[in-house]
Amino acid sequence: MNLSATVSDRVRSLARRRPSAAWRRFLALGLALLALLTFFWPDVGHPAVVASRDLPAGEPLTAADVQVMSLATPLPGSFPASDAVVGRSLSSPARAGVPLTDFDLADVADDQASVAVRVADQGLAAVVRPGGRVDVVSAAGEVLAENAAVRETRGEVVVLTLPRLNATRVAAMSLDHALAVTLR
C-alpha cells in the first residue's frame, strides 16, 4: 500500500464511502428549501406597451396614450418600452389595456397614403397577402401605381399604401371601376 496517495486516489476513496445520515439529511433539507424557494419566487413578467385609454386610428401616439405593463407570457411583436411607439400612429383603433404590437402601428410616411381598392378578379384578390407588393392597373390598361404595399385584404377589397399623388388617382378611378392588380 502506498502512503502518499494522489488526489485522484483520495477522491475515489471518498466516492466509495456511503455518506453519513447527517450529511444525507442536510442535503435533503437543502433541496427542499431550494424547491420551496423556486415555487414562491416571484415572476417578474414580460414588459409590454398597452393603450392607457381607448385610442383612435391615425393620430400620433403620445406618452400619455400608452403605459408599460407586465404580462405573464411574452407577446410576439410587443414593445418593451413606450419610447418605441411614441410619435407613431395606429393603423386601427385600440382599446384601453390592450397590448400594442407591430401589426397595430401604421408605417405610413407623410408622403404616403392608404387606399381601398376593389379588385376586378376575385380569384386574384384571394392570392394577394398583406406585406406583398402590387402594381395597380385601370380597365383601360393604364398603370396607376407601381410597387404599392398591401396593408390588408378583405374579400375583393385590398388596402394599398402608395405615394399620396397616386393614391388620390387610384381612389378616384376605383369609384367607377374595379381595378386590376399585378403581383410583383
Instruction: Answer yes or no: do 146 and 116 share one domain.
Output: yes
What 8-state DSSP symbol labels residue 48?
A: E
3-state secondary structure of 5: coil
Q: Are residues 95 and 133 in the same domain?
A: no
Residue 83 is classified by DSSP as: G
The secondary structure of 103-162, three-state, reads: CCECCCCCCEEEEEEEECCHHHHHHCCCCCEEEEECCCCCEEEEEEEEEEEECCEEEEEE
**Domain identity same for 90 and 134:** no
Report if residue 154 sits inside a domain.
yes
Using CA atoms, how far residue 153 sits from 102, 105, 121, 150, 160, in Å, is 18, 17, 13, 8, 9
Assess if residue 18 is contained within a domain. Answer: no
d(CA 127, CA 42): 47
116 close to 140: Cβ distance less than 8 angstroms: no
- Closest C-alpha to 148, from 110, 88, 108: 108
Considering the domain boundaries, does residue 92 fall inside one? Answer: yes
pLDDT at site 3: 59
Answer with the one of 58, 75, 99 that is the final residue of a domain. Answer: 99
167 within some domain: yes
Per-residue pLDDT of the chain (184 residues), as tens digits, is: 455 678 888 878 777 777 788 888 999 999 999 988 888 877 678 899 999 999 887 778 899 999 999 888 888 888 889 888 888 888 778 899 999 988 788 765 667 788 888 888 777 777 888 778 888 888 888 888 888 888 778 888 888 888 888 888 888 888 888 888 878 7
Could you tell me if 77 and 102 are in contact, meaning their C-beta atoms sit under 8 angstroms apart? yes
For residues 70 and 123, state if they share a domain.
no
Question: In this structure, is residue 41 part of a structural domain?
Answer: no
Name the residue type at position 147. Answer: N
Bridge partners (DSSP) listed for residue 101: 78
Residue 65: domain span = 46-99
2 within a domain of the structure (yes/no): no
Residue type, 15: A
Q: What is the pLDDT of residue 68?
A: 92
Number of structural domains (the chain) is: 2
Closest among 86, 96, 107, 99 to 152, alpha carbons compared:
107
The rounded distance, in Å, linking the Cα atoms of 158 and 127 is 11
Assigned domain for 158 exists:
yes
Alpha carbon distances (Å) from 30 to 19, 21, 36, 135? 15, 14, 10, 68
CATH code, domain with 89: 3.90.1210
